[in-house]
Chains A and B, each alone.
Chain A
Amino acid sequence: MNSQANRAWLAASAVLDPEVPAVTVADLGILRSVEMDEYGRAVARVTPTYSGCPAVLAIELAIEAALRDAGFDPVIERSLTPAWTTDWITDLGREKLRAYGIAPPVSGSSSKRALFGDVQVSCPRCSAKDTSKLSEFGSTACKAHYRCNSCLEPFDYFKCI
């Protein structure tokens, strides 16, 4: 990675997710790469979490603005392959989610167990394992709603896909 591309990556990867402003687009794995093309433009490849995620456009605009502010001529490319899964969230991203009060997805999401069986979700506040699912769909496309049976606090769970 040359220094220009590196600088562009640093600018783009610092953009925060508009719906979960505790993590960056790089933490979530939504920003796949930033490369300089032959015309000197910074090409950012972005992948949506869910097909209908309404934040996709806002994220693309924010990345474009961040690159422009850093002095680049930005191009945003939307890319569907390889499909985003919760496994793209970095370890640092998982920790930031937990600190923010959102239980990170149970890892190994692509396994059948995570999709069809019941996974054990720990409370992001008190770490208790005794939690129950209130709703499979939550406040945004990427979350489900849970409650901790120990501290009784309701919380969001970043669901596995």
Chain B
Amino acid sequence: MQKGLFSALLQLADDHLVLGHRLSEWCGHAPMLEEDLALPNIALDLIGQARSLYTYAGEIEGVGRDEDALAFCRIEREYQNLLICELPNGDFAQTILRQFYFSSFMLLFWEQTLKSSDATVAAVAGKAIKEAKYHRRHCGEWVIRLGDGTDESARRMQASCEILEPYLGEFFHTSYDSLEISQSGVFPDKNTLQEPWLMDVREVFQAANLNIPDLTHAQKGGREGRHTEAMGHLLAQLQYMQRSFPNMAW
């Protein structure tokens, strides 16, 4: 149970850290000033959520690893994030669409996690759900604006749908460990989130004139530490300071 809980917390924390890092790459490069504020703001929320999760994961593991040790001092195969989180940003449409998918999923996930049997996990959910709601709304509006916008924005949005489609199924993939954790009531069973998530996506996609994605042929491996080529490059940047100056502090 403890091992399963550690792994479940780590997976969730890795999703948030890696996606938060990706979003932070937009700082200073977004297509407009408002988005230059929005994307790093969302990144801050995600990294803040990751911190709470890593800290608790370290406590559960009980060998003295803190949030920094978990975030910065593991090798690539030890990261268990979803592949979609590590994919390069692509253009603005692709970044926003990924963020919409993720925030919509997390909103449903945190809603179910509010009644977690684990008090610390429920507390993190209580905090994170408010932020996920804000992100989901912001990104959903962009998906509609771009999908239902000019020929060029619609073309880019539809192209982003096709690029991201193979990575959607992994959201709902349950491993042996995660099954155990959902049975003990700590986290929801991700399988049960697929239908409500698709309903949310369908509603936005209909307004955006986009084709509903197909989840049947899913790329998997992130949860087992098998990553895409992009992950090594991401970690090289993410871990640079701790690798160059071990145990450095501000």
Main secondary structure on chain B at its contact with chain A?
A: helix
A residues in contact with B119, CB < 8 Å: 81
**Nearest-neighbor residue (CB-CB) of B126 within chain A:** A83
Q: Is A51 in contact with B128, judged by CB distance below 8 angstroms?
A: yes
A47-73 residues with Cβ-Cβ distance < 8 A to B are: 48, 50-54
B residues in contact with A135, CB < 8 Å: 33-34, 37-38
Query: Contacts A135-B38, A161-B134: A52 and B124 contacting too (C-beta < 8 A)?
Result: no
Number of interface residues of A (CB under 8 A): 24
Q: A80 contacts the other chain (Cβ, under 8 Å)?
A: yes
Q: Is B45 in contact with A141, judged by CB distance below 8 angstroms?
A: yes
Q: Is B37 in contact with A50, judged by CB distance below 8 angstroms?
A: no
**Which residues of chain A have a CB within 8 Å of any CB of chain B?**
48, 50-54, 80-85, 115-116, 134-139, 141, 145, 159, 161
> How many contacts between A and B, using CB within 8 angstroms?
73
Q: B41 contacts the other chain (Cβ, under 8 Å)?
A: yes
Q: Is A51 in contact with B126, judged by CB distance below 8 angstroms?
A: no
The one of B43, B126, B134 that contacts A80, using a Cβ cutoff of 8 Å:
B126
The one of A52, A81, A136 that contacts B45, using a Cβ cutoff of 8 Å:
A52
Bound-state Cα–Cα, A80 to B49, Å: 11
Bound-state Cα–Cα, A136 to B52, Å: 25
Could you mark each residue 83-122 of chain B with 1 if its beta carbon is under 8 Å from any beta carbon of chain A, else 0? 0000000000000000000000000000000000001101
Q: Is B52 in contact with A80, judged by CB distance below 8 angstroms?
A: yes
8 A-B interface contacts by CB (under 8 A): A50-B45, A50-B48, A81-B122, A115-B134, A116-B137, A135-B33, A135-B37, A137-B138
Q: B3 contacts the other chain (Cβ, under 8 Å)?
A: no
Q: Is B137 in contact with A48, judged by CB distance below 8 angstroms?
A: no
Q: B145 contacts the other chain (Cβ, under 8 Å)?
A: no
Q: Is A52 in contact with B34, judged by CB distance below 8 angstroms?
A: no
Bound-state Cα–Cα, A5 to B93, Å: 54
B214 to chain A, nearest CB (A): 29
Q: Is B44 in contact with A161, judged by CB distance below 8 angstroms?
A: no
